[in-house]
Amino acid sequence: MSVLGLGRMGSALATALVGEGYEVTVWNRSEDKPTPANTTRVKTPEEAFKSDVVVTCLSTYDAQQPLLTNEIKTLVNLTSGTPEQARATARWAKDNGVEYVDGVIMAVPQQIGTPQARILFSGNENHHVLDAFGEPFHVGEDAGLAALYDLALLGIMWATFGGYLQAVALMGTEGIAPEQFTPMAADWLNELGAMLPEMGAETRSKSYETDVSALDINVSGLRMLTDANREQGLDTTIPQALHDLFERAQRSGHGAHSIASVIEEIRK
């Protein structure tokens, strides 16, 4: 078993493989990264390709692609990228007789090797090496699907974290500390999470009638939020962008509809 890349994640992957009893060869571009305990460090990727399975975990596909050769027998690609990058790598693998598994890691390095580390993978369904890293979950035959799930879930994370940081900054303008506000924010997120199945169903049926909260009222709310952030001396990029998107959906005729109708503007 080989691991290419000894960054934060690659090192954790190599350590987890050692923990499962595999003999592990590791390679990293720079020599300054420490060698994980009980692994064998090699100086070139080609030496690492002698293993039956090569796990890659580099920062980007651009960093990874120049290293790949048809000497690899099985490539387990855990470098993050776009669906199209994953599909292109799958095509390259097929053309070069390399068995290919495309995975994404929905966890931080500290969780690797525990059941909390969810590994989504697509393409070849039978790759047990992933068991060493956490809880593998096969999302489909198309090699691009794992990357699609990854970016969709990360998109929710980045939007949520951005909204939270904006809120902390806003509360901070009046001296309210994060530790005072955060428990309320966390409860609020749980409540919002419970609303997603219904919202998802509305996007599918495209029936946006609501007796809960119309888009009109949410556009006014976003205007107030943008104004409040400006008045308190803060950056307004996030609330302004949401306001503008929701307002476009309103102008397209969804003012009396539910928030779910904004998806029609996103899909345009």
- Identify the residue whose tokens are 């939270």: 164
Separation between Cα atoms, residue 79 and residue 256, nearest integer Å: 44
For position 93 contacting ligand NAP by CB under 6 A, the verdict is no
Q: Does 109 bind ligand NAP (CB under 6 A)?
A: yes
Stretch that binds ligand NAP, among 26-34, 115-123, 132-140, 188-196 (CB under 6 A): 26-34
Least Å distance, CB 66 to ligand NAP, is: 7
C-beta of residue 83 within 8 angstroms of C-beta of residue 108:
no
Binding to ligand NAP (CB under 6 A) within 205-224 occurs at: none
Handedness of CA 41, 47, 51, 57 (dihedral sign): positive
**Which is nearer to ligand NAP, 63 or 88 (by Cβ)?**
63
Cβ-based neighbour number of residue 71 at 10 Å: 13
Total of chain residues touching ligand NAP, rule CB under 6 A: 19
Contact call for residues 1 and 52 (beta carbons, < 8 A): yes
- By C-beta, is 75 or 219 nearer to ligand NAP? 75
For tokens 């490539």, the residue is: 75
Rounded Cα distance, 130 and 76, in Å? 9
Q: Between residues 28 and 218, which has the closer beta carbon with respect to ligand NAP?
A: 28
Say which residue the tokens 């199945």 belong to.
Answer: 197
Min CB(80)–ligand NAP separation in Å: 3
Q: How far apart are CA 204 and CA 196, in angstroms?
A: 12
- Of the candidate residues 42, 55, 58, 145, the single one contacting ligand NAP (CB under 6 A): 58
Q: Is 108 in the site for ligand NAP (CB under 6 A)?
A: yes
H runs (alpha helix) in 24-144:
45-48, 61-64, 83-95
- Minimal distance in Å, beta carbon 37 to ligand NAP? 17
Q: Pick from 38, 59, 70, 237: which binds ligand NAP (CB under 6 A)?
A: 59
Residue in the block written with tokens 């799958």:
90
Q: Is 41 in the site for ligand NAP (CB under 6 A)?
A: no
Check residue 8 for interaction with ligand NAP (CB under 6 A): yes
Residue 54 binds ligand NAP, judged by CB under 6 A:
no
* Interface segment toward ligand NAP; rule CB under 6 A; list 23-31, 88-96, 226-234, 258-266: 23-31
Strands 99-106 and 74-77: parallel
56 touching ligand NAP, by CB under 6 A: no
In the chain the beta strands, taken as DSSP E runs, fall at: 2-4, 25-27, 40-41, 53-56, 74-77, 99-106, 118-123, 135-140
Decide: is 45 part of the binding site for ligand NAP (CB under 6 A): no
Q: Which residue shows structure tokens 């955060």?
A: 182
Between 27 and 208, name the residue whose CB sits nearer to ligand NAP: 27
Positions in the binding site for ligand NAP (CB under 6 A): 5-10, 28-30, 33, 57-59, 63, 79-80, 105, 108-109
